[in-house]
C-alpha cells in the first residue's frame, strides 16, 4: 500500500529539522557532513513529492539553519510552593530546567522530558504559565527567541534531584532570587511564575 503523502511530508519535516538543528550546534566536521547529507536527502524528497526545484528547496532550508521551534522552561514547584532552579555547567548562571521543543512535540511534552533529562524528576504538566521572549535588543542574545513556561503539578519538597552533565547544582527558591546570577531572560520568567502562583486561580493557557 502506498504511503500517505501527508505522512511522508511529516517525516521529511522531522528529518529536515534534525539536520538544521545539528548544523547549528555541532562543531564536529564529520557530523556536519552527515547533517548536510541528511538535508540533501530531505530536499530531494521534498522536490520529488511537491514537484519543485530541489536546489530552490535546499537553498530555502539552508537559510533556516538553527532551531525552528520555541524554547521551553519548566516551573517545577514543590509542596512548599518553592520553584526549582539549576546552575548551568557552562557558567551562564542559574535558571529553570528547559530546552528546545522537538519537532512534533508540544511545549508541555518537551518540558516533562527536559525535567527528567536535567533533574531526574518525573513530573506532570499543570498549565502554560508564562510566555516571554528575548532578542539582541533586550539581552545578550543573537536570535529572537520565544520562551514558553509550563507549570508542573507539585512534587514532594524532599524529591531527589539528579543532575545531568548540563548542570552542577540545584536549589529550591521561595521568591525571585537576588543573591545569584540568573541565565539571560530567566529573571522575567521567574517573576511571571511567582505572579501566576500568587494569583491563586491557577488558570493558565490550555494545552495544545
- CATH superfamily for 71-199 is Nucleoside Triphosphate Pyrophosphohydrolase (3.90.79.10)
Q: What is the DSSP letter of 66?
A: S
More confident residue, 51 or 181: 181
More confident residue, 71 or 122: 122
Q: Assign 83 to helix, strand or coil.
A: strand
Answer whether 163's CB lies under 8 Å from 86's CB: yes
Rounded average pLDDT over 10-35? 88
What is the pTM (predicted TM-score) of this model?
0.69
Amino acid at each position: 500500500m502506498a504511503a500517505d503523502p501527508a505522512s511522508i511530508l511529516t517525516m521529511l519535516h522531522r528529518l529536515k529539522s534534525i539536520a538544521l538543528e545539528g548544523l547549528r550546534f555541532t562543531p564536529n566536521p564529520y557530523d556536519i557532513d552527515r547533517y548536510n547529507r541528511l538535508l540533501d536527502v530531505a530536499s530531494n524528497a521534498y522536490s520529488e513529492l511537491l514537484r519543485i526545484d530541489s536546489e530552490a528547496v535546499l537553498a530555502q532550508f539552508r537559510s533556516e539553519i538553527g532551531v525552528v521551534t520555541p524554547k521551553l522552561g519548566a516551573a517545577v514547584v514543590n509542596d512548599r510552593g518553592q520553584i526549582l532552579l539549576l546552575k548551568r555547567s557552562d557558567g551562564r548562571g542559574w535558571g529553570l530546567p528547559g530546552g528546545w521543543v522537538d519537532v512534533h512535540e508540544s511545549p508541555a511534552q518537551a518540558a516533562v522530558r527536559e525535567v527528567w533529562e536535567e533533574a531526574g524528576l518525573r513530573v506532570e504538566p499543570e498549565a502554560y504559565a508564562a510566555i516571554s521572549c528575548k532578542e539582541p535588543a533586550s539581552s545578550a542574545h543573537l536570535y529572537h527567541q520565544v520562551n514558553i513556561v509550563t507549570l508542573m503539578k507539585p512534587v514532594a519538597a524532599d524529591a531527589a534531584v539528579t543532575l545531568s552533565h548540563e548542570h552542577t547544582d540545584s536549589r529550591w527558591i521561595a521568591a525571585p532570587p537576588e543573591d545569584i546570577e540568573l541565565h539571560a531572560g530567566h529573571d522575567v520568567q521567574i517573576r511571571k511564575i511567582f505572579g501566576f502562583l500568587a494569583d491563586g486561580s491557577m488558570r493558565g493557557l490550555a494545552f495544545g
